[in-house]
Structure 1
């Protein structure tokens, strides 16, 4: 590395790293500054010691070390009184500004934890769940908590809490990341469905083996991977990747194709519930719906949560559960029942 490189990188030959110099300086002078501020405020070394819970001699030693470090006399001491020198007054004024900023910073952090909810809330969600479930509730949330600004990011990739500065994430499926707190909002029902017109024309599969006889519609993740269909058979998970006539990387397009009678697809209960209720869609193989998935609200730590995050988690948990998004009141429902008879109340 030549001299120009060193200069461009903000370093100089023979000089310590500024960060190391700052830490060394602060570590050396911290006790002295605390002692100095106490003496200047109380007007006495003895009273400063009482305030700090240490002896008068310890206060004196710390102030003397600070004066030596600064090469400056900070106090004029007599048997009757202790006064700041002109240099001491200047140093006190500068230190007092710093102390004020530190106190304000600490109070601000405490208010975020204990005070009224406020500040920016950065949220991540999968695209379809975010559009259909999360986003419609945010307006209501903003009405209840007007001092919280919400930034919603829609992405089917799992959120990177640290890199993307995410406060709360909504995730679907199975949570295998042990580094996060995942609170299940509702179970996730993956249900095979078709339009009423398709069912009348082609019938519905009654076994997994009959799936190959139907027109299937697949969903492709943003990663490029096609979503496998999953079924629970005799207590075991079975995966099936159909040969699809149509594949989309957008869940709304999959739903539209199903509603148009183009084929059958496996979709989440929240996506199809209203259409099933209106008899636009019918469900098949309900007894094989997998029961180990969920819709989760996720965050990094239970401790020291800012108020804005705590109220958001509580609000969304209550609101989403009240929506009753699933198609079935229970998993593995009897296929002989009419679709509308199995809808949640």
Structure 2
């Protein structure tokens, strides 16, 4: 077994873990390297001490420990001057590259937080909301922030921020994850609707019990479960699973079937608002619309937010609230809608 293999199999053959060796080396050398770089830059131990805010003797001790560790003399010291040895010059050149990389890395992180918005923005949204509301706004966002690349993932399952490296997620309904910051964009209205053609041909239900006599269209969720309609009855939420004539796993297909007069369905307000305004759909059992559960924009942390995330959240909040996506006037929320930990 050669040395590389031995290092890779260190635990098995009893050799030190390479990561532990690196950690030990770094912790031992760090103070000495900082002192060495300061002396080499300033040209004296006294000035290096002033630069670092420590005494000259502390600088000297740290450099001596480093020289001992390297078994190499780094400085030629006299009472009047301090100069790098040839080995010291080589060590300084190599260390200076590392310092430059570290400074560049820190400046890059500061630019992400404080500089012009840039970089990759990974977004996740439920399929319906993402397709009908988020996606149409992305072109305008891209025009306004050309240095931000957007990756949009449509999925009805809750986003795993860490595993999927999601920056921002759009979610519907109740959010139970306390680690997530959730800002309500607009109310979540679930409205029963039908086309005028259906209403003329079959009439409309007046009570919930009347639904049993009507042709209903169901929506199957991504997990396979059929979405249950929700109603508010005597102040309480009541669920209803209709016997459906048609079932689709795509909300746009459900909407298309309703517009064609194929039946009644319960759909989100953002999906049908423009059709209600054009009299292409009518609302059914409006008095039993369930309570608002909200459409939210979510992210993990309020602090140290990269500028690309910050501007995207602000942009989407302003743009979505400005859209006419609500069917019921009494659902309109205060413009200062809450931002909270779920």
Matches of residues 135-214 of structure 1 in structure 2 within 5 Å? Answer: 135-214=135-214
Quote how far apart the aligned CAs of 1:234 are. Answer: 2.1
Equivalent-residue separation in structure 2 for 1:312 and 1:137 (angstroms): 11
Cα RMSD, aligned residues only:
1.7
Would you say the 8 A contact 1:287–1:331 is kept in 2? no
Equivalent-residue separation in structure 2 for 1:113 and 1:321 (angstroms): 26
Tell me what 2:252 maps to: 252
What stretches of structure 1 move > 2 A for 4+ residues in a row?
Answer: 6-15
Quote how far apart the aligned CAs of 1:64 are. Answer: 0.8
Relative contact order (C-alpha < 8 Å, sep 6+): which is higher? 2
Structure 1 residues 319, 331: closer, same or farther in 2, change over 3 A? closer
Structure 1 residues 151, 8: closer, same or farther in 2, change over 3 A? farther
Equivalent-residue separation in structure 1 for 2:245 and 2:22 (angstroms): 66
Equivalent-residue separation in structure 1 for 2:179 and 2:8 (angstroms): 37
Would you say the 8 A contact 1:113–1:305 is kept in 2? yes
TM-score by length of structure 2 reads 0.93
Quote how far apart the aligned CAs of 1:9 are. Answer: 9.6
Equivalent-residue separation in structure 1 for 2:6 and 2:141 (angstroms): 48
Quote how far apart the aligned CAs of 1:179 are. Answer: 1.3
Determine whether 1:37 maps to 2:62.
no
Would you say the 8 A contact 2:122–2:151 is kept in 1? yes
Tell me what 2:133 maps to: 133
Would you say the 8 A contact 2:6–2:15 is kept in 1? no
Tell me what 1:115 maps to: 115
Structure 1 residues 65, 42: closer, same or farther in 2, change over 3 A? same
Quote how far apart the aligned CAs of 1:127 are. Answer: 1.2
Determine whether 1:235 maps to 2:261.
no
Tell me what 1:10 maps to: 8
TM-score by length of structure 1 reads 0.92
Tell me what 1:71 maps to: 71
For 1:298, what is the secondary structure of its paired residue?
Answer: strand
Tell me what 2:217 maps to: 217
Tell me what 2:89 maps to: 89
Equivalent-residue separation in structure 1 for 2:6 and 2:44 (angstroms): 49
Would you say the 8 A contact 1:187–1:291 is kept in 2? no
Tell me what 1:342 maps to: none
1:94-118 C-alpha deviation (Å, 9 max, x unpaired): 0000000000000000011000111
Would you say the 8 A contact 1:193–1:281 is kept in 2? yes
Would you say the 8 A contact 2:273–2:324 is kept in 1? no
Quote how far apart the aligned CAs of 1:30 are. Answer: 0.5
For 2:8, what is the secondary structure of its paired residue?
Answer: coil
Equivalent-residue separation in structure 2 for 1:233 and 1:331 (angstroms): 17
Equivalent-residue separation in structure 1 for 2:58 and 2:240 (angstroms): 75
| Structure 2: runs of 5+ lacking an equivalent | 333-342
Equivalent-residue separation in structure 1 for 2:191 and 2:331 (angstroms): 10
Structure 1 residues 143, 8: closer, same or farther in 2, change over 3 A? farther
For 2:329, what is the secondary structure of its paired residue?
Answer: coil
Would you say the 8 A contact 2:7–2:15 is kept in 1? no
| Structure 1: runs of 5+ lacking an equivalent | 333-345
Structure 1 residues 300, 274: closer, same or farther in 2, change over 3 A? same
